[in-house]
Amino acid sequence: MPRKPSKPRPNPCPTCQGTGEVSRTVRVGRKRRAVGEQSGICLTCLGSGQATD
């Protein structure tokens, strides 16, 4: 009886919703004015987009 390979279930990272990237607002100055958004690697899944079990 052949063994079935266990398929990895797609389990998207809850932090980045599986995109592997997170955007954060960039603020400058003492008033902390938002100048835009910067996308960076998701530190929860390290860019893989999948939640580690």
Residue numbers at the binding site for Zn ion (CB under 5 A): 13, 15-16, 42, 44-45
CB-CB contact of 20 with 42 (8 Å): yes
d(CA 12, CA 52): 9
Residue 37 Cβ vs Zn ion, minimum distance, rounded to whole Å: 17
Closest to Zn ion by CB, 11 or 25: 11
Residue 10 Cβ vs Zn ion, minimum distance, rounded to whole Å: 13
Residue 40 Cβ vs Zn ion, minimum distance, rounded to whole Å: 11
Locate the DSSP E strands across the chain. 21-28, 33-41
